[in-house]
Amino acid sequence: MTAALHNLLLYWAALPFGWRLTLRSLGGIIAIMVPLIVSVGFMTLIERKVLSYMQLRLGPNRVGMHGTFQWVADVLKLVCKEVILPTNANRFLFLTAPIISIATAFAAWAVIPFSNGVILSDANAGLLYILALSSFGVYGVILAGWASNSKYAFLGAMRSAAQMVSYEIAMGFALVGVLLASHSLNLNQIVLGQSGNIGHWYLWPLLPLFMIYLISGVAETNRAPFDVAEGESEIVAGFHVEYSGTAFAAFFLAEYANMILISALAATLFCGGWLSPLQGWSWLAGTSLGFLTRTSFIWFALKTSFFLYCFLWFRATFPRYRYDQIMRLGWKVFIPITILWLVLEGLAVVLKISPWFA
């Protein structure tokens, strides 16, 4: 057994460097993608369950124990269905759009640190990369709406183009605040910059920016109360009204992957990522509860889950904004607030206010 392992390691070492790099990256991609897709599946189930309990219903409870495997059934159904191509649609763009959506939604995960140093690509410009990819995701939506050649899809695409672009700005400004505090675009560095104790998290000095980031995140992923791009009661399903089968599933997958991404980013950038909230409680360290103060992937997952829950909570609580009201909120409220806070934060950085900007 050990001999076999030894041989394998020898083979590995004998591979050219380029091969080793490629294989390692591929392994990393699979290690991220598979759990991500599974969590998207569970996310759809959890969404339905959480909403149903908030709304005095039971939710799915037929496939598996309490509907645990409902998502598998849904996926199978969608995959087995025909992808209908509308006669007047632009076939190439019609099929490219979901691919763009899903590709950008997954690619952004490359720079998310799951635990200290556990990261597919420890890129220095990680934050910039994420901003770039989330902007690129808009193309999927716009192309889908345009290529469908349907008035409903067209309206949905117009709405989401305007909405996502304008919230990109507010979100970008909110992230500049993080950049200013951490002096780094590397997500791992940003998390490390928040170590110390719970008071060191960027959540506290950047509270307005955090709120704006979270709300923009909801808008960016086209979730309620900003779901005008697919506003069910207005334009039925918006940009993906003409999609079916796997193509529709791709949009669905992208939306949820983006939702998880936004939550993961909120946890990473403002709430100390994989750092423990009990970090710095030295009196705990000696006791049997000492493990609670250690950094762990679990903390990251818990924080992400909390923000994901907020997404569902919003959906159950709020009515939908009107399209122009969303624009007003983005341009006339959020952007001025972020700029103002960036100025204040700049002052704080110059004055080296501890513990965050020292």
Partner 1 sequence: MPELQNFTMNFGPQHPAAHGVLRLILEMDGEVITKADPHIGLLHRATEKLAESKPYNQSIGYMDRLDYVSMMCNEHAYVMAIEKLLGITPPIRAQYIRVMYDELTRITNHLLWLGAHGLDIGAMTVFLYCFREREDIMDMYEAVSGARMHATYYRPGGVYRDLPEHMPDYKASRFRSKGDMRRMNKARQGTLLDFIEDFTGRFPKCIDEYEVLLTDNRIWKQRTVGIGVVSRERALQLGFSGPMLRGSGVEWDLRKQQPYAVYDEVEFDIPVGMNGDCYDRYLVRIEEMRQSTKIVKQCIAWLRKNPGPVWLDDHKITPPHREQMKSDMESLIHHFKYMTEGYCVPAGEVYAAIEHPKGEFGVYMISDGANKPFRVKIRAAGFAHLSALDEMVRGHMLADLVAIIGSQDIVFGEVDR
Are the CB atoms for 276 and 296 separated by under 8 Å? Answer: yes
Q: Does 65 bind partner 1 (CB under 8 A)?
A: no
Q: Does 354 bind partner 1 (CB under 8 A)?
A: no
Provide DSSP, 281-349.
-HHHHTSGGGGGGS--HHHHHHHHHHHHHHHHHHHHHPPPPPHHHHHHIIIIIIHHHHHHHHHHHHHHH
The C-alpha atoms of residue 323 and residue 331 are separated, in whole angstroms, by: 13
Which secondary-structure segment (H or E) carries 139?
A: helix 126-147
Q: Does 327 bind partner 1 (CB under 8 A)?
A: no
Q: Does 332 bind partner 1 (CB under 8 A)?
A: no
Q: Does 325 bind partner 1 (CB under 8 A)?
A: yes
Nearer to partner 1, 145 or 205 (CB): 145
Nearer to partner 1, 190 or 235 (CB): 235
**Binder to partner 1 among 59, 196, 225, 290 (CB under 8 A)?**
225
**Distance of alpha carbon 113 from the chain centroid:** 13
Which tokens go with 193? 């910059």
User: Which single residue is written with the structure tokens 């409903």?
Assistant: 152
Region from 23-31, 122-130, 193-201, 310-318 binding partner 1, contact rule CB under 8 A:
310-318
Q: Residue 35, preceding bond cis, omega within 30 degrees?
A: no
> Within 13 Å, how many C-alpha atoms sit on residue 5's CB side?
2
Nearer to partner 1, 41 or 231 (CB): 231
**Binder to partner 1 among 10, 14, 56, 350 (CB under 8 A)?**
56
Q: Does 244 bind partner 1 (CB under 8 A)?
A: no
Q: In terms of Cα–Cα distance, which of 266, 177, 256 is closest to 223?
A: 256
Q: In terms of Cα–Cα distance, which of 117, 282, 140 is closest to 221?
A: 140
Could you give the angle at the alpha carbon of 210 between the alpha carbons of 218 and 340, nearest 5°? Answer: 115
**Minimum CB–partner distance for residue 320 and partner 1 (Å):** 3
Region from 121-129, 186-194, 231-239, 350-358 binding partner 1, contact rule CB under 8 A:
231-239
**Minimum CB–partner distance for residue 159 and partner 1 (Å):** 8
- Judged by DSSP in three states, 131 sits in helix
User: Which single residue is written with the structure tokens 């009107």?
Assistant: 322
Region from 135-143, 170-178, 226-234, 271-279 binding partner 1, contact rule CB under 8 A:
226-234
**Minimum CB–partner distance for residue 109 and partner 1 (Å):** 30
**Minimum CB–partner distance for residue 62 and partner 1 (Å):** 13
Q: Does 235 bind partner 1 (CB under 8 A)?
A: yes
The C-alpha atoms of residue 45 and residue 258 are separated, in whole angstroms, by: 16
Query: Which residues are within 8 A (CB) of 47 and not within 5 positions of it... i.e. 6 or more apart?
Result: 312, 315
- Judged by DSSP in three states, 118 sits in strand
Region from 149-157, 195-203, 251-259, 261-269 binding partner 1, contact rule CB under 8 A:
149-157
Are the CB atoms for 255 and 138 separated by under 8 Å? Answer: no
Q: Does 155 bind partner 1 (CB under 8 A)?
A: yes
Q: Does 67 bind partner 1 (CB under 8 A)?
A: no
Q: Does 92 bind partner 1 (CB under 8 A)?
A: no
Q: Does 51 bind partner 1 (CB under 8 A)?
A: yes
Region from 120-128, 205-213, 234-242, 301-309 binding partner 1, contact rule CB under 8 A:
234-242
Q: In terms of Cα–Cα distance, which of 297, 241, 312 is closest to 46?
A: 312
**Binder to partner 1 among 32, 85, 236, 298 (CB under 8 A)?**
236
**Binder to partner 1 among 234, 246, 290, 305 (CB under 8 A)?**
234
Region from 66-74, 84-92, 215-223, 315-323 binding partner 1, contact rule CB under 8 A:
315-323
Which tokens go with 159? 């709405």
Nearer to partner 1, 14 or 56 (CB): 56
Binding site for partner 1 (CB under 8 A): 51, 54-57, 151-152, 155, 158-159, 224-225, 227-228, 231-236, 315-325
